[in-house]
A and B are shown apart, each in its own frame.
Chain A
């Protein structure tokens, strides 16, 4: 029973950074922009958050500054991809490589110094109910925030005018431009939002998930978040499902190692990456699903013309 609880809670915690980063990228891609720099923005967020927490600021401040740092990194991408109309693939990769270098540099003084992590909530009475308490009421606040963000983003995208404008711009920037919307501005705002969310995902890694700083500690989580967006068919609720799936695979392989299952640990560690490929294959073979869902202008630069 304890093990089942540990696996379920571990899954929810492991899914949290993925939910943040993937929800951000989902909004970015809905506006027609493909930012491959999530991994870099998460690293910048992680090192910033760690640095501020290390300097004694409360976790909430550290997380907010990490969001700002992620958005600033996204701004670099925006200037290249939106204003200068550079190839979005190349600009995103540049951001990932730059973010890896910058975060390693900024973090080299931190070493493996521990810090006060974000701690679990403790709700009187509720948290102490057996089974239900640990399953529902004993997470750190970020886990709840991530889950709460899913309906919020869904509502913003599908039930508000702002969401409609973002989606129209993703489908047909020409039409949106023709009715008078500022395509580039909206895409900038979406890109900044995506950067802030990736920064928050990175902050979660450095403040709660493994409360320490290690260079390249995201270990591909930014790319898995990108895969989640495709898996979700660009829909928020399916992002959550996908994130739980990957959180679950990650936690299961950790427990399998703990059980001493006779498979080399490296091969077990490869499981989440192999699972990502597998899931992508399953989703992508259904071309109609992808065609129906993916923003038609994704990755194509828009130039307002004369």
Chain B
């Protein structure tokens, strides 16, 4: 009798690890084309609007980079936590608190130009995100509280806090009652990399963060300890690594990266605080982290791809009248297929005769 069985691959090769997200992307594109077809759009033309058109102009590329920056930055931080089985779903809230902290100091300084306002904002943004992430870390370490739920609940709390600030005490007195703060002074903002484009100097922070994350993950003892905490917690315990350290580091790194991303949004494309700082970057970054197989280099490519889809969705909305939520569906499908493709990384189908 012959039957199919599963065999675990103990050491998946680098090639198959890298190929699986690419395969998942291709399958997503196929499934997406089918979806376009059933919605009554011409698939090839629509795919061109989604994936090619944004890359045909310098402005388009700058917009892709603009959205990729927060996604990559947040996903780099999240991936380090996910590797250690620390499930931080609260990047959206940590981002918001980072923006609030950095924005608060920018508003307090106002029109004075010290020359290092932006530097202080960077520090406060990261610290704000870390502080917000330290709540679930503390509760997890001290009381064993599920970090998924705590980080998620804190997202809602952070958004409500921001809403309170921009509707109340921080509202621009000359803003015609709109829920927004005054515009930041130019010394409290990143300047564009090229005049006329929206992508700002914060891109260098993202590049720096990618290099640091790569070093932590692949070249440091710390990264090794965190990986052990995720893969074989008991082995880690016997070797004397404390689980608590992985929880604290995982959440603080993720929170700091998200806070920095929030600060860069406020001090970049927004230039002020609004009731929403991000269109869900904190959640989309989860997709990016998995698309990048939790590896810093993968995350960079994943962030670029997801940003491309988001920008493509905007052009599709503009030129084809598609609803903007289609790119969200696309991103969701992408994550489904990435996870499904993992199956072929870790298992081998075998035809057995017996």
Contact = CB atoms under 8 A, between A and B. Distances in A.
Interface of A: 36, 76, 79-80, 84-87, 89-91, 93-94, 97-102, 104-105, 108, 215, 219-220, 223, 226-227, 230, 264, 266-267, 269-270, 273-274, 276-277, 280-281, 284-285, 287, 290, 303, 306
A227 B149 contact: yes
B45 interface: no
Given A223-B153, A276-B149, A306-B5, A266 B160 contact: yes
**Shortest Cβ-Cβ A-B pairs, 7 listed:** A98-B332, A101-B328, A266-B164, A104-B325, A84-B343, A86-B339, A94-B335
Contacts of B339: 80, 84, 86-87, 90-91, 94
B325 A84 contact: no
Given A105-B329, A266-B167, A98 B153 contact: no
Nearest to A105: B325
Best-surrounded residue of A90, A99, A108, A227 (most CB of chain B within 10 A): A90
21 contacts: A84-B342, A91-B336, A93-B89, A100-B332, A101-B325, A101-B326, A101-B330, A102-B325, A104-B328, A105-B325, A108-B323, A219-B156, A220-B153, A223-B153, A266-B161, A266-B167, A267-B164, A276-B149, A277-B139, A280-B139, A290-B144
Given A93-B286, A270-B161, A306-B5, A285 B143 contact: yes
A1 B87 CA distance: 46
A93 B139 CA distance: 22
Given A264-B164, A277-B153, 17 more contacts: A80-B340, A84-B339, A84-B343, A89-B148, A91-B336, A94-B332, A97-B331, A104-B323, A104-B328, A220-B153, A223-B149, A223-B153, A264-B167, A267-B160, A280-B139, A280-B145, A281-B143
Interface residue tally on B, bucketed by range: 35 or more
A249 to B, nearest CB: 13
Contact of A277 (B89, B150, B330): B150
B343 A85 contact: yes
Nearest to A230: B146
B227 interface: no
Contacts of A90: 290, 335, 339
Contacts of A98: 329, 332-333, 335-336
B6 interface: yes
Contacts of B283: 97
Best-surrounded residue of B6, B144, B149 (most CB of chain A within 10 A): B149
A76 B336 contact: yes
Contacts of B336: 76, 80, 91, 94, 98
A51 to B, nearest CB: 15
Nearest to B330: A101
B73 to A, nearest CB: 19
Contacts of B347: 85
Best-surrounded residue of A89, A97, A270 (most CB of chain B within 10 A): A97
Contacts of A270: 156-157, 160-161
B340 A220 contact: no
Best-surrounded residue of A89, A98, A102, A290 (most CB of chain B within 10 A): A98
Contacts of B188: none
Given A84-B343, A93-B89, A270-B160, A276 B335 contact: no
Contacts, number: 137
A80 B332 CA distance: 13
A245 B156 CA distance: 19
Given A80-B339, A86-B340, A280 B149 contact: yes
B160 A97 contact: no
B329 A102 contact: yes
Contact of A266 (B150, B152, B163): B163
A219 B159 CA distance: 12
B340 A84 contact: yes
B168 interface: yes
Nearest to A84: B343
A256 to B, nearest CB: 15
A285 B325 contact: no
Interface in B76-115: 87, 89
Contact of B332 (A102, A287, A306): A102
A85 B323 CA distance: 33
Contacts of A281: 139, 143, 145
Contacts of B323: 104-105, 108
B287 interface: yes
B154 interface: yes
Contacts of A267: 160-161, 164
Best-surrounded residue of B142, B143, B154 (most CB of chain A within 10 A): B143
Contacts of B154: 273, 277
Contact of A284 (B143, B167, B168, B287): B143
A104 B149 CA distance: 23
